[in-house]
Amino acid sequence: MSGRFISLEGGEGVGKSTQARRLAEALIQRGVDVVLTREPGGSPGAEAVRALLLEGEGERWTPTTEALLFAAARADHVARTIRPALARGATVICDRFIDSSRAYQGAAGVDDAAIMALHAIGSGGLLPDRTLLLSLPPGEAAARAMARDGGNADRIGGRDAAYHAKVATLLASFARAERRRFRFVDAAGAEDVVTRRLLVAALDGTAG
């Protein structure tokens, strides 16, 4: 039996972490076995790599090294957390996955084919069954992130607006190129309204 693998993607502050938790709660209420996880992280080894990636100076790693570290963290997360959960039939909800590497490391200059090659080596090329792309006007997302962090963004979140605009453009282009896997979800409005949109988008194309 293989469970359903759902990832949430989007820029900083759009509400991914809030909605990953709310979506998990909504599915658990329906009797679904859910594993809620996140990247970078989601297993002890990957959480240790997360600290290397998100702390320190902006130029601590070259773009290629950064891509390798994300791929290494993901390989551990997939092997130790995601594949075992899917194998027992659980639904996995993951706050960011491979498309974050394609967008963020892609925006830093790493080739998409190289990122997918690392993913093939590290994680057998595992892709989500459904990727929910949360979208919000950049000003609104920045205001939410600012309310949360008070301007103390992490090493990657703190990059300039042009970089984040490139990330958003790349994520949208992946969603347009893979319409079967992706759903665009409007992240504006009250939390419960967004959760209802996500539930529909998470489940469409399935029996449940």
DSSP assignment of 48-116: HHHHHHHSS-TTSS-HHHHHHHHHHHHHHHIIIIIHHHHHTTPEEEEES-HHHIIIIIHHTT--HHHHH
Per the DSSP assignment, residues forming a β-bridge with 7 are: 94, 131
Closest CA to 72 of 114, 108, 40: 40
33 φ, ψ (degrees, to nearest 5): -80, 115
C-alpha–C-alpha distance, residues 116 and 113, integer Å: 5
Q: Segment 141-200, which members bind ligand TYD (CB under 6 A)? A: 154, 156-157
Nearest approach, Cβ of residue 100 and ligand TYD (Å) = 3
C-beta of residue 71 within 8 angstroms of C-beta of residue 45: no
What does 172 interact with, of ligand TYD, ligand ADP, none (CB < 5 to 8 A by kind)?
A: none
Nearest approach, Cβ of residue 112 and ligand ADP (Å) = 23
What does 101 interact with, of ligand ADP, ligand TYD, none (CB < 5 to 8 A by kind)?
A: ligand TYD
C-alpha–C-alpha distance, residues 147 and 14, integer Å: 12
Q: Segment near ligand ADP (CB under 6 A), from 6-14, 50-58, 81-89, 177-185?
A: 6-14
Report how many residues bind ligand TYD under the rule CB under 6 A: 16
Helical (H) or strand (E) element with 26: helix 16-29
Q: Segment 148-187, which members bind ligand ADP (CB under 6 A)? A: 148
Report how many residues bind ligand ADP under the rule CB under 6 A: 15
Pattern 38-77, ligand TYD, x by CB under 6 A: -xx-------------x---------------x-------
State the residues that interact with ligand TYD by CB under 6 A. Answer: 12, 16-17, 39-40, 54, 70, 95-96, 100-101, 104-105, 154, 156-157
State the residues that interact with ligand ADP by CB under 6 A. Answer: 10, 12-18, 144-145, 147-148, 190-191, 194
